[in-house]
Amino acid sequence: MTGSIYNFSAGPAVLPKEVLQQAAAEMLDWHGSGMSVMEMSHRGAEYMSIIAAAQSDLRELLAVPANYKILFMQGGAIAENAIVPMNLAGLKPQPATADYINTGSWSTKSLKEAAKYLNVNVAASSEADKFATIPARAGWKLSKDAAYVHICTNETIDGIEYQFVPEVGADTNGAPLVADMSSQILSRVIDVSQYGVIYGGAQKNIGPAGLTIVIVREDLLGHALPCCPSAFNWKTVADNDSMFNTPPTYAIYIAGLVFQWLKRQGGVAAMEQRNIAKAALLYDYLDSSDFYVNRINKDNRSRMNVPFFLHDETLNSAFLAEARERGLLQLKGHKSVGGMRASIYNAMPVEGVQALVKFMQEFAAKNS
């Protein structure tokens, strides 16, 4: 490999270099404690200060209202696919129903898992058009008395992103909007109060795998089904300040460093402007090229995950091999859709996208 290295992995994903350098410097001795964070008791004063700062910084970055709890959990978004219905089905008489909007691979997984715990109504789906769009809100067939309405705001595999927040309460007698934001959180400004629950795995824009973030409105706590394990009961976790069981301590520490890094960059609003610019750079080139193609409706394209295909797919292996030689890593698309995918999360600098576009231009010129 030559030159700078840029990691376009969809997750676990690139972390800010400053964060990795700080973690390396603190690895053997955190702030003169004589301990690595990996070795600390999660109930000791040192670690308690770390998790408190992480929670406070995340609340500040997202302007989380006071009537919302921030939970640090485990199991990733896939576990939350079960934890969400186990915690919210009790909002309604049994058997409860939840509405799901199916916009790609991850929302498909979510609704299939939820069906183990309640009735699932697929209120809208873009599967028929191969998940190239988000169904227009006017066409959603929502239940009149749903326990909640679930969306995945950014489909990591398919490259679909909501550019709007759907209003759902008026059609569902006030059902809360639940959002899997695993690959979108902290990349753009959001109004947390428009959601009842926000959740996501950390390994895209927050930190290493192992940590799950849940932001939940307080009135939605305390409705878990009897089958819900205690460690996955949001009220139990909230009542114990995310310390009911041993939390993923090192992952929370790294997340806290990322939150501090984001604040130094100017916060979420500043990151959103960078992300808009990075995505435009790549999409503008794709749209100008007849060598590559992106198949997603322009109004629904993801800023975080950009799938694209070579018109001549016999060149895929050569493209990936030469990209790697140029220091452009993890560009292979998900096995379920093929092609290529560039994930350009917060920690991906604009220089990485510029390097990718330059390589794509040169590869196209050489192989046209």
| Cα radius of gyration (the chain) | 21
Work out whether strand 340-343 and strand 305-310 pair parallel, antiparallel, or are unpaired: antiparallel
CATH of the domain at 152: 3.40.640.10
Known active-site residue 180:
yes
Q: Which of 264, 283, 313 is the last residue before a domain boundary?
A: 264
Catalytic residue among 204, 235, 278, 332: 204
Known active-site residue 92:
no
Say if residue 56 is in the same domain as residue 31.
yes
Q: Using CA atoms, how far apart are residues 174 and 177, in angstroms rounded to an integer?
A: 9
Contact status, residue 9 vs residue 332, Cβ threshold 8 Å? no
- The mean pLDDT of 355-359, rounded to a whole number, is 98
Say if residue 198 is in the same domain as residue 123.
yes
Say if residue 255 is in the same domain as residue 276.
no
Say if residue 278 is in the same domain as residue 224.
no
Catalytic residue among 30, 69, 92, 106: 106
Q: How confident is the model at residue 239 (pLDDT cuts 50, 70, 90)?
A: very high
What pLDDT digit, counting tens, does each position of 95-140 carry? Answer: 999 999 999 999 999 999 999 999 999 999 999 999 999 999 999 9
Q: Which of 220, 248, 264 is the last residue before a domain boundary?
A: 264
CATH of the domain at 316: 3.90.1150.10
What's the domain count of the chain? 2
Catalytic residue among 180, 235, 278, 332: 180
What pLDDT digit, counting tens, does each position of 154-187 carry? Answer: 999 999 999 999 999 788 889 999 999 999 999 9
What pLDDT digit, counting tens, does each position of 53-99 carry? Answer: 999 999 999 999 999 999 999 999 999 999 999 999 999 999 999 99
pLDDT on residue 2: 65
Say if residue 185 is in the same domain as residue 279.
no
Contact status, residue 346 vs residue 262, Cβ threshold 8 Å? yes
> Three-state DSSP class for 32?
coil
Known active-site residue 234:
no
Enclosing domain of residue 41: 21-264
Report yes or no on 1 lying in a domain.
Answer: no
pTM above 0.95, yes or no: yes
